[in-house]
């Protein structure tokens, strides 16, 4: 029975494989500009050029990952495909890790990164990246969630998002892994 279910999932994944999210360039630019404005509004200390770089990366990078990971909406279906070994990655924490690593390569000084988790330890635990102004706590930030729409970035002020985000401190070894991955990604791209 389990084999039949996996075969059906595999067939569905093959049929839906081309369903990876794609957004026209003009729309990506518009979303990046709007997100950059939202990031600048976090604090007068936020450097507009840094906000633009962060917003551009936050909008574009998950779309690239969606293609690489063969992400197939909706996100819950994509989770099934990942857990069945049909897709390589695409669980919420993987989106959050990858986006964190990408943003770390930008060497930001006026935006801080946090890990937001909803339903911590629960059945529907969900992770995202939260960006704040310098020194601000998570509650004042903007949640960046690439999982929700399989690579199309969803962002919202933490206080108004549908998820009740709370900050989770990443374990030191895990942080080290993310920093190492950011260094590797920056080196592959030829610098930060």
| % the chain with pLDDT above 90 | 77
Higher pLDDT, 90 or 172: 90
Query: In this structure, what are the phi and psi dihedrals at residue 162, rounded to the nearest 5 degrees?
Result: -70, -20
pLDDT digits (tens, 9 = 90+) for 42-80: 999 999 999 999 999 999 999 999 999 999 999 999 999
pLDDT at 113: 96
- HEC string of the chain? CHHHHHHHHHHHHHHHHHHCCCCCHHHHHHHHHHHHHHHHCCCCCCCHHHHHHHHHHHHHHHHHHHHHHCCCCCHHHHHHHHHCCCCCCCCHHHHHHHHHHHHHCCCCCCCEEEEEEECCCCCCCEEEEEEECCCCCHHHCEEEECCCCCCCCEEEEHHHCCCCCEECCCCHHHHHHHHHHHHHHHHHHCCC
> What confidence category does residue 191 fall into, taking pLDDT thresholds of 50, 70 and 90?
low
Q: Nearest to residue 56, comparing CAs of 33, 23, 81?
A: 33
What does pLDDT average to over the chain? 90
- Do you find a cis peptide bond into 74, omega within 30 degrees of 0? yes
pLDDT at 179 over 90: no
> What confidence category does residue 145 fall into, taking pLDDT thresholds of 50, 70 and 90?
very high
pLDDT digits (tens, 9 = 90+) for 119-143: 999 999 999 999 999 999 999 999 9
Q: Which of 16-20, 24-28, 108-112, 180-184 has the lowest mean pLDDT?
A: 16-20
> What confidence category does residue 168 fall into, taking pLDDT thresholds of 50, 70 and 90?
very high
């Amino acid at each position: 029975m389990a084999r039949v279910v996996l075969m059906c999932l595999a067939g569905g994944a093959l049929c839906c494989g081309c369903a990876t999210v794609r957004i026209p360039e003009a729309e990506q630019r518009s979303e990046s500009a709007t997100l950059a404005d939202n990031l600048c509004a976090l604090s007068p200390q936020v450097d507009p050029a840094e906000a633009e770089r962060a917003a551009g990366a936050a909008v574009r990078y998950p779309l690239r990952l969606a293609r690489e990971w063969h992400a197939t909406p909706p996100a819950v279906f994509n989770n099934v495909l990942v857990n069945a070994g049909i897709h390589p990655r695409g669980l919420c924490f993987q989106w959050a890790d990858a986006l964190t690593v990408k943003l770390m390569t930008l060497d930001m000084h006026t935006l801080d990164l946090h890990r937001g988790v909803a339903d911590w330890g629960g059945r529907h635990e969900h992770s995202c990246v939260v960006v704040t102004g310098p020194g601000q706590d998570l509650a004042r930030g903007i949640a960046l969630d690439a999982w929700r729409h399989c690579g199309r970035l969803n962002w919202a002020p933490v206080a108004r998002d549908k998820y009740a985000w709370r900050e989770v401190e990443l374990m030191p070894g895990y942080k080290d892994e993310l920093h190492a991955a950011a260094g590797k990604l920056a080196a592959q791209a030829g610098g930060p």
